Homo-oligomer: A and B are copies of this chain.
Amino acid sequence: MKFKELWQERQQLVEAALTAELNKETPVDKTLTESMEYSLMAGGKRLRPVLLMAAADALGADGTKFIKTGCAIEMIHTYSLIHDDLPAMDDDDYRRGKLTNHKVYGAGMATLAGDALLTLAFEVMLRQPGADAQTLVQVVREMSTAAGPDGMVGGQALDMESEDKRIDMETLRRMHMGKTGALFRAAIRSGAILAGASAEQLAALTEYADKFGLAFQITDDILDVVGDEALIGKPVGSDEKNHKSTYVTLTSLAEARKLAQDTVAEAVAALAIFGPEADFLRDLVNYLVDRNK
C-alpha cells in the first residue's frame, strides 16, 4: 500500500477506536464527557498513534493490534492541547479552525476535561489486548515518564518561562525534547515494546524517534516564519508574532532547513537494521520535512 493511503487508513482506524473509549452510556457528568469528546474528536493528524502502530509494523507485527495504546497516547496529546489553550496558558480561541475547549465549555470544565483525558489514558492502556502484565507495566512507565515533569509537562513549563526571552540552543533543545519529543519517543517505544522488540531494535527505534521529534520541531519553526521572513533575526520579544526563540530565530532559515534535512537523514539511517517493514517510518519523516519546501 502506498504511504498516503496507509496513513489515511490508519487515521480512520484511530478515529473509530477513539470514540469507542468514552463512557457515553453512564457518565458521572454528561457535560464532562461531551467536553472530552469535543476535543478528542476535533480532527488532528493522529500522528502519535500512527507512529506507535508503525513502530510495531517495523518489527514485522501488525501495528493495528495495538490501537488501544494508540488511543491512550492520543488522549494524552489532546489533554495537553486543551490545557495549553487555556486563558492561563496560551489563551487561544481557536484550534484547527474550531473554538477551543474552554471557549465552548468554560475554563473550569476545560481544565477537568484535560485532567479526565490524561487519567483515562492510563485506564485505556491497561485494556490493550494481547499484552502481558510485564509489558503493560513497561508501557505505563514509558507514558508516565514521557508525559510528566521530566518530559512533556517539564517542557511546557520551560516554554512558558521562555516567553519573550532569548534562550540558548541547548535550552531550546531541552524544551522541545520535553514538550513534543518525549511523547513521540513514548509512542514509538511503546509500539516497539508491545511488538516484543529486542534491545537493539528498541535502541534503533528510539534513535529514530528522537531524530523524528527534532525534525518535526525544526520544520514547525520553519513553517511559522515562511511567508513572514521579516521576523527572522529580529530580537525575540520585539513583535507579537516573535515572542519565542525557535530554531530559525536562533540560526537562520537556510541553516534551519539544512539542519532539518540532516536530521531526517539521521532518522532514516537509524532504521538501517530494518527491512521494508520500516518503509512507512522512512516515508513519514521525509514527508514531514518536505512540508517546508
A87 interface residue, CB < 8 Å from B? Answer: yes
Pair A149/B36 contact, Cβ less than 8 Å: yes
A123 to B154, CA, bound (A): 15
In the complex, which of the residues B108, B132, B141, B153 contacts A160, with contact meaning CB atoms closer than 8 Å? B108
Q: How large is the interface on A (under 10, 10 to 19, 20 to 34, 35 or more residues)?
A: 35 or more
Judged by a CB distance under 8 angstroms, whether A115 is at the interface is yes
A122 x B107 contact (CB < 8 A) = no
A153 near B32 with CB under 8 A, answer yes
Map CB proximity to B onto A114-138 as digits: 1 under 8 Å, 0 otherwise: 1110111011001000001110110
Residues from chain B with a CB closer than 8 A to the CB of A79 are 115
A135-179: contact bitstring with B at CB < 8 Å (1 yes, 0 no)? 011001101110111110111111011000000000000100010
Q: Are A119 and B147 in contact (CB under 8 A)?
A: yes
Report the separation of the CA atoms of residues A27 and B174 in the bound assembly, to the nearest whole angstrom.
11
Which of B86, B137, B145, B156 touches A133 (beta carbons < 8 Å)? B137
Which single member of B29, B83, B144 contacts A111 (CB below 8 Å)?
B83
Query: In angstroms, how far is the closest chain B Cβ from the Cβ of A135?
Result: 8
* Contact A83 B115, CB 8 Å, known A31-B161, A88-B106: yes
Report whether B126 and A111 are in contact in the complex, using a CB–CB cutoff of 8 Å: no
Q: Are A148 and B123 in contact (CB under 8 A)?
A: yes
Cβ of A109 < 8 Å from any Cβ of B? yes
Which residues of chain B are near A273, meaning CB under 8 Å?
Answer: none
B108 touches A122 (CB 8 A): no
Asked whether, in the complex, the Cβ of B133 is within 8 Å of the Cβ of A119, the reply is no
Contacts of A120 in B (CB 8 A): 144, 148-149
Q: Does A89 contact B (CB under 8 A)?
A: yes
Q: Is the CB of B133 within 8 A of A111?
A: no
Contact status B158-A28, CB under 8 Å: yes
A residues with a Cβ closer than 8 A to B are: 23, 27-29, 31-33, 36, 79, 83, 86-89, 102, 106-112, 114-116, 118-120, 122-123, 126, 132-134, 136-137, 140-141, 143-145, 147-151, 153-158, 160-161, 174, 178
Q: Which 9 residue pairs of A and B lie closest in terms of their CB atoms, listed nearest first?
A: A28-B154, A88-B107, A119-B148, A29-B157, A133-B133, A32-B157, A122-B144, A123-B144, A116-B149
